[in-house]
């Protein structure tokens, strides 16, 4: 994606975040939809995923589903630990 070249991590998050959020939102049930911003934030974390991996999530629905499922499991674990 040419528009990402030379951009800061914060700018990349903004550019990739919107389409990623919408794709995540489509995958979630009505009960899970409030978690979409948190899941998007997790998948946009540069310490966890590279820009190339995030672009891959946008292109590959199955890969995105797997990562959304993992994020939901992590959130559920954190919630039950409290």
Q: Which CATH architecture has domain 9-81?
A: Orthogonal Bundle (1.10)
E-state strands within 1-82: none
pLDDT tens string 26-39: 999 999 999 999 99
pLDDT at residue 38, rounded to an integer: 96
pLDDT at residue 76, rounded to an integer: 92
This model's pTM is above 0.75: yes
Residue for token pair 């559920």: 76
Count of all residues that appear for the chain in the document: 82
Neighbours of 31 (CB within 10 A): 7
pLDDT tens string 61-78: 999 999 999 999 999 998
- Percent over 90 (pLDDT), the chain: 74
């Amino acid at each position: 994606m040419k528009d990402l070249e030379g951009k800061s991590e914060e700018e990349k998050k903004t550019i990739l975040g919107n389409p990623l959020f919408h794709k995540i939102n489509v995958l979630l049930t009505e009960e899970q939809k409030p978690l979409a911003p948190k899941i998007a934030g997790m998948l946009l974390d540069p310490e966890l995923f590279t820009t190339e991996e995030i672009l891959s999530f946008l292109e590959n629905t199955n890969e995105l589903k797997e990562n959304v499922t993992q994020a939901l499991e992590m959130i559920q674990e954190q919630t039950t630990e409290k």
